[in-house]
Amino acid sequence: MRSSFLAFHVPDIGNEEVAAVAETLRSGWLTTGPKVHAFEHDFANYIGTPHAVAVNSGTAALHLALDAIGLQEGDEVLVPTMTFAATAEVVLYFKARPVLIDCETDTLNLDPAGLEKAIGRHTRALIPVHFAGHACDMAAILEIARTHRIKIIEDAAHALPAAYNGQRVGTFGELGCFSFYATKAICTGEGGMVTTANPEYAESVRMMSLHGISKDAWKRYSAEGSWYYEVVRPGFKYNMTDIAAALGLVQLDKCNRMWQARRRIAKIYAEALADLDEIVLPAARSNVEHAWHLYPIRLGLEQLRISRAEFIGLMREQNIGTSVHFIPLHQHPFYRDAYRYRREDFPNASDAYERLVSLPIYPAMGENDIADVVTVVRETIRRNRR
Ligand SMILES: Cc1ncc(COP(=O)(O)O)c(C=O)c1O
């Protein structure tokens, strides 16, 4: 057995990141400035979109994206139930209603088949979440959105640098939203990015991220700027700091390498666990480049003598950290009580939830760590077969 605990996630932070942050601290420019602008520029290039606006979380990105499309009180937004709280809570900031949608049985992404019947008079937008880093069925989703004139805001928090039919996610919807939370593909501690091809949306997000002021602080205080500013709308305080962006620039440079490392781990898991009938491995469709942010397996509970909680406990006893993504939104007290959702309303997500366990998958894992995960999963299954 391992002598030390393998954490579910450890960010890949090296000397370069430390040096970049130290340099920024010494530069005297801490808040939104040249590093943020460089990060936005490089990020936009990386995913292939004209505009990227950096903010201080993925949640802020989603909030400002919905603000940019002019979401109003009483509107409805379609949101997958298989997601993190942030995707739906931002809809509630507007006193609008998140309408939950069940997932596909293979990818666990929002099921396009469930969209038509959920669309009504008040439906304004749809937030596909590229769950675990697997791109949603964007062809089907775009077609439905076009037919019903619904705006698409991609929640790409898991999905840098995933692609669908060769095109990076975050470039399909009116706006795309990324997260740079500590566990994500690239991290800035906390941080996020809004991407869009529409300059008006980009300007709206930029302005509302800094109090609704018509010019950002960088321009105001730099040589070409001036002391004058105007508040055009009551905005928010969501701007990214240069300290975070310094970290982000180095991480973005490493993004491909870190992605290859995760892809390699996913391949090792897929090969080493393929013969276990008691486990369903994550799907990866052929027209998708999977970001492999998460590696969620599903337990064949009918073939096992243990529950999911017991499986996680046994993994932990063997010093392997795991997690669960996600407790579907309809099973949380708030959504259950506010909208009277029942388990049966979302059969696929409800069934998947009871079986889901996310295995560690991150570039800082060593060869022994990867091998230990495989061994402990195999042993735990072998000992607990029916
Ligand atoms: C699917 C999804 N959307 C949005 C977010 C929010 O991102 P952040 O934590 O940066 O606010 C998360 C965070 O984990 C997420 O998993």
Q: 188 and 251 in contact (C-beta within 8 Å)?
A: yes
Strand partners, 361: none
Please give the positions annotated as active site.
184
- Give the C-alpha separation, 277 to 281, whole Å: 10
pTM for the full model? 0.97
Atom of ligand 1 nearest to the CA of 192: 10
- Give the C-alpha separation, 100 to 42, whole Å: 34
- Give the C-alpha separation, 18 to 136, whole Å: 35
- Give the C-alpha separation, 245 to 272, whole Å: 38
- Give the C-alpha separation, 380 to 204, whole Å: 52
Is the beta carbon of 192 within 6 A of some atom in ligand 1? yes
Work out whether the CA dihedral 141, 142, 143, 149 comes out positive or negative: positive
Q: Given strand 151-155, what is the order of strands in its sheet?
A: 51-55, 192-196, 175-179, 151-155, 123-126, 76-80, 97-101
State the residue for tokens 């064949």.
300
- Give the C-alpha separation, 249 to 255, whole Å: 10
- Give the C-alpha separation, 328 to 100, whole Å: 10
Each of the 386 residues of the chain gets a pLDDT tens digit; together they read: 899 999 999 999 999 999 999 999 999 999 999 999 999 999 999 999 999 999 999 999 999 999 999 999 999 999 999 999 999 999 999 999 999 999 999 999 999 999 999 999 999 999 999 999 999 999 999 999 999 999 999 999 999 999 999 999 999 999 999 999 999 999 999 999 999 999 999 999 999 999 999 865 556 666 666 777 889 999 999 999 999 999 999 999 999 999 999 999 999 999 999 999 999 999 999 999 999 999 999 999 999 999 999 999 999 999 999 999 999 999 999 999 999 999 999 999 999 999 999 999 999 999 999 999 999 999 999 999 99
Is the beta carbon of 157 within 6 A of some atom in ligand 1? yes
- Cα 359 to chain centroid, rounded: 17
- Give the C-alpha separation, 292 to 280, whole Å: 16
For residue 157, report the distance from its CA to the centre of ligand 1, in Å: 5
Atom of ligand 1 nearest to the CA of 59: 11
For residue 21, report the distance from its CA to the centre of ligand 1, in Å: 23
- Give the C-alpha separation, 271 to 265, whole Å: 10
